[in-house]
Amino acid sequence: MKNWLTNIGLLCGKEIRSLLQDRVLIALIVFAFTAGVLAVANGVKVEVSNATVAFIDHDHSTLSLKLRDAVLPPYFKPPVLTTPEAAETGMDKGDFIFVVDIPPSFERDVLAGRSPALQIRVDATAMTQAGLGTSYLTQIFMNEVQAATHAPALTDFMPFQIKSRVYYNPNSESFPFMSVMQIVTNITILSIILVGAAIIREREHGTIEHLLVLPVTASEIALAKIITNGLAIFIAAMLSLWLVVHVWLGVHLAGSIPLFACCTLLYLFSATALGVMLATVAPTMPQFGLLAVPVYAVAYLLSGAATPVENMPTVIQNVVRFFPTTQFVTLSQAILYRGAGLNAIMIPLLAITAAGIVFLALALARFRSMLTSQS
């Protein structure tokens, strides 16, 4: 056991020197966990933000002017007054997401209690903006009409009252969610790429033959690559979580960072072992890239980081529960957003541990077989 640990330590030192000499991979790690996280956090929006609105005002009344003035940033850009023909052309070009058509005599009909129709045309290709934005505009217009007519609110006639309480993200902003999920995503893809690149680099440079004549075993070589590259990703991810997400973006991390760090270490064994398996299947780096991309894409899209697992078909939900990526996203959200403790994440943690053991065993078997074929 002592010789086994010593060999792994010496091989880890070799892997660290090899990684530090690869400036492209170092630049990739730094970019992914700094500028990559910031770009996604600030650029990807799941809420309504700066949506474009055009008004076709056939009424030109005080009420129609109030409706237009009530559409305010940051949810919407300042409304544009246009004509029916220009509005149609603007929607075709994607210049307008919403077109509000106010009919003639709108204010007079409202004050007379005739319930005139106000049309909102929506470009639903902007999926998130279209759904939420329509609700926002409807609520804005209802409030303005109610204020103009001094009518009681609709809730006053309901037999119950709705009181919403938003937990964990009171302002319903996307950047706290997107930034953390981007770190989780980067951990997955870089775990696969770095370990796979380390193995294929040995094969392409011919240094795999040097390892074969050394008194080391396949498990020692594979574990050294897994530990070294996993540790590099772990350090980068933890620094990014604290310095970029918490300090720079100001995201409140509700849970225990040491607990999340321990879970990340366990998950890294699963992801890096998967990278070893893929590298033993693909003989060259281009083939490895073509193989890793669909594997990562499926794992990411079905992990719950892009869309909730509960929104997926039942069959898919039953399948993705066994994915370590899905379980890691689940426990990351539970710890960092909701402040969950060890008891609340025990099932995802056990699932990740079991997947890590299976992946590691398969990776070592595949790696041993690859070395045997090289000798």
**Which are the contacts of 57, defined by CB distance < 8 A and separation ≥ 6?**
64, 68, 81, 102
pLDDT of residue 48: 85
pLDDT of residue 44: 80
Q: Across the beta sheet with 98-102, what order do the strands follow?
A: 80-81, 53-57, 98-102, 119-122
From first to last of the 375 residues of the chain, give the pLDDT tens digit. 778 888 888 888 888 888 888 888 899 899 999 999 999 988 887 788 889 999 999 999 999 999 999 999 888 999 999 999 999 999 999 899 999 999 999 999 988 888 899 999 999 887 778 888 999 999 999 988 888 887 666 666 667 777 888 888 887 788 898 999 999 999 999 999 889 888 888 777 777 767 667 777 878 888 888 999 999 999 999 999 999 999 999 999 998 999 999 999 999 989 999 998 888 888 788 888 888 889 988 888 888 888 888 888 999 888 888 899 999 999 999 999 999 999 999 999 999 999 989 988 888 888 888 777 765
**Which helix H or strand E contains 54, and what residues bound it?**
strand 53-57
Residue-range domain boundaries for the chain: 2-44+174-374, 53-157
As beta bridge partners, residue 122 has 98
pLDDT of residue 179: 93
What is 53-157's CATH topology?
abc type-2 transporter like fold (3.40.1710)
Q: Give the pTM.
A: 0.83
pLDDT of residue 266: 92
Asked if 272 and 222 count as a contact pair (C-beta separation under 8 A), the reply is no
Tell me if residue 98 falls in helix, strand or coil. strand
